[in-house]
Each structure stands twice: as structure tokens, then as C-alpha cells.
Chain A
């Protein structure tokens, strides 16, 4: 079992729709959870992080964390073609500072 799992997609949504990206993790001791966006040929850029159960909103993005289910998700409202990218879920476990990344979900937003 992979430590951090994501559906590789591709996930295709129409412009203006809500895109829902999911991630599960295996280490129950995981403390912090991150969503990064990576455009083709570029390095990852941080979208947001969450460390408490529940929802965290930042603009069009909402991260949801459920530690009991070992599940974290990212919702993108009013999806735009510019949101088309690979979304990486990263989890900080018990190792100091070290993040474990999922394989990423490819999102395509079509006009």
C-alpha cells in the first residue's frame, strides 16, 4: 500500500464547475497536509495546507481533512481552464519536516 494515494485521473470538469480532488494516507500519525499545484514543466507551488479536522477555505479552494478516515480533499470552485494542472497531495508524517507526496491527479478544465 502506498503511503499517500491519489487518483491519477485525468479528471475532466467543465469551466465553472466544482473540481473535487481526493487523497488518502496510511500513517495515522500524520500531522500536516498540503496541496500543491504543478503545471507541466514547472515546479510545484503551494495552494494551501491544513492540519485540523474540518474545512479550510482560501478563495476558490477548500481543503477538507478527516483524520479518522485518513482522508484529505481539495475542492476547486468555479474551475477555470488555468486550473488545469497536476495536483499533488503531500503529507507530513512523523519524520522531521519530511513530506510524502502522492502521485498526483491530473485535472483538465475544459471551456
Chain B
């Protein structure tokens, strides 16, 4: 199978602090990972595309200095929410592209629920 893990599964922090979320592909190498955000009762919104060994590509309207992405290896990408504020509270989900298939199938991690007080 294709398993993607995320850590932590939930986090509560105070306003102004930074939070790091890890995304790992456990049984395959992922040269590309994606970070999404989902607010209640809304669909997934792509934040950025993370490529191993290069800078992430951010979607329009996403602040790259606030949402720092590092894809240091073929199995790990991290998202750091810097100086988090209550409006950043959301469900953050990563996905990893399984390059073994030619269809660009993405497998999702279980998500991280961030609550900023």
C-alpha cells in the first residue's frame, strides 16, 4: 500500500507561537508532497506543492513567510506555521504523490488539527 503519516494529529497553541507539522511517506518515496488546509464544511484548499530538494510552490494568496515548507528528504516534508493566530486554526492535511503510478495518485495523511488560542 501507500501509507502517509502526519504528526502531530492535533495541537493547541497560544497565539504568536510557531507550530511544526511533519508529513512522512512510510512505504514509498515521494518526490512531491502537497499541503492542504480545510475549514469546517469546506473542501480542501491546496496551500503549496513541496518538491524534494527545492523550494515549495505556493498557491496564490498563501503567505510563504508564514507557512514555511521544507522537503528535506524523499520521505519527509514539514510545514511550519509561524506566529500562529486564531484565524490559522484549521485542519491541515498533507498528501504524497506516488510516482510509481503514472496517474499522479495522491495519498493523504491523517491530518493535523490546529487550534490557536
Interface residues, chain A, with chain B CB atoms under 8 Å away: 31-32, 34, 36, 42-46, 49, 51, 88, 90, 92, 96-99, 101-104
Closest A residue, CB atoms, query B98: A46
**In the assembled complex, which residues on chain B have CB atoms less than 8 Å from the CB atom of A42?**
110-111
Q: Is B105's CB within 8 Å of the partner chain A?
A: yes
Q: Give the complex CA separation of A51 and B43 in angstroms.
A: 23
Within B58-117, which residues are at the interface with A (CB < 8 Å)?
A: 91, 93, 97, 103-111
B residues engaging A (CB < 8 A)? 32, 34, 42-44, 46, 49, 91, 93, 97, 103-111
A46 to B32 alpha-carbon distance, docked (Å): 17
Collect the chain A residues with CB atoms within 8 Å of residue B42's CB: 103
Residues of A within 8 A of B111 (CB): 42-43
Q: Given the complex of chains A and B, what is the CA–CA distance between A31 and B107 in angstroms?
A: 18
> What B residues does A36 contact at CB under 8 A?
108
> In the complex, what distance in Å separates the CA atom of A98 from the CA atom of B48?
10
Known: A43-B110, A45-B108, A49-B103. A97 touches B43 (CB 8 A): no
A42-B110, A88-B44, A103-B43 given as contacts; is B103 within 8 A of A97 (CB)? Answer: no
| Chain A residues closer than 8 Å to B43, beta-carbon distance | 88, 101-104
A99 & B110 in contact (Cβ 8 Å cutoff): no
Please measure, in the bound complex, the distance between the C-alpha atom of A31 and the C-alpha atom of B102, giving whole angstroms: 10
Q: Are A101 and B49 in contact (CB under 8 A)?
A: no
CB pair A51–B103 under 8 Å, yes or no, is yes
